[in-house]
């Protein structure tokens, strides 16, 4: 049986390392299943998933010129194309607000005590529509922020040197 990229074959785990597992293929050759190709979820310790002597189905990912064979266990399992769970109809975001984004934080200039600045903690979400910012607006914000940072930095370095009178020439 020749080894072809993309084919699925049965193999036997012959060795386990911290980075993956070696699998003996039917033709007597050995390939490596990298730890990232063992399961769909994160695998911290490969010994919790595989054992030496275990029969596994693997998919051949690549065969290099020097004879190294790359294998995958997770890609050998046939799954429907979209196994992603559907979101409920009313839910727009799967994650919380991004940290450091505009209008977020604890209250801020918008008032309110919630993390998004509107209403009491734990309240409902308030959708705010904003006009897209123009390049000029973004540039002016950047320049203002940059000037503030430079001023702060200059103040800090001057105070460490002992003020203007301590400069040496």
Q: What is the mean pLDDT, run by run of 10 residues, along the chain of 169 residues? A: 83 94 92 92 91 93 91 84 57 54 50 52 62 84 92 84 58
Q: CA–CA separation, 24 vs 9, rounded Å?
A: 10
For residue 8 the two structure tokens come to 């699925």
Query: Rounded distance, CA 60 to CA 80, Å?
Result: 20
Q: Could you identify the residue written with the tokens 């998004």?
A: 116
Query: Domain 8-76, what fold?
Result: OB fold (Dihydrolipoamide Acetyltransferase, E2P) (2.40.50)
- The DSSP result for 98-111, as a single string, is PTT-TT-SSSGGG-
pTM score, whole prediction:
0.47
Whether residue 52 contacts residue 13, with contact meaning beta carbons closer than 8 Å, is answered with yes
User: What is the Cα–Cα distance from 135 to 125, expressed in whole angstroms?
Assistant: 29
Q: What tens digit of pLDDT does each residue of 84-102 get? A: 555 555 555 555 555 555 5
All structural domains of the chain with their residue ranges: 8-76, 135-159
């Amino acid at each position: 049986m020749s080894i072809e990229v993309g084919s699925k074959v049965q193999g036997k785990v012959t060795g386990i390392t911290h980075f993956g597992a070696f699998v003996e293929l039917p033709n007597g050759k050995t390939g490596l299943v990298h730890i990232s190709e063992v399961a769909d979820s994160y695998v911290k310790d490969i010994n919790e998933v595989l054992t030496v002597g275990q029969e596994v189905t693997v998919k051949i990912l690549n065969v290099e010129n020097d004879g190294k064979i790359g294998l995958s266990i997770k890609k050998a399992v046939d799954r429907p194309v979209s196994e992603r769970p559907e979101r409920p109809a009313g839910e727009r975001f799967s994650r919380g607000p991004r940290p450091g984004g505009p209008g977020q934080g604890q209250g801020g200039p918008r008032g309110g005590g919630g993390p998004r600045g509107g209403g009491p903690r734990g309240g409902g979400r308030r959708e705010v529509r904003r006009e897209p910012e123009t390049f000029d607006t973004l540039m002016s914000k950047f320049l203002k922020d940059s000037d503030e940072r430079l001023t702060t930095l200059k103040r800090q370095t001057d105070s460490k040197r002992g003020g203007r009178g301590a400069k040496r020439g």
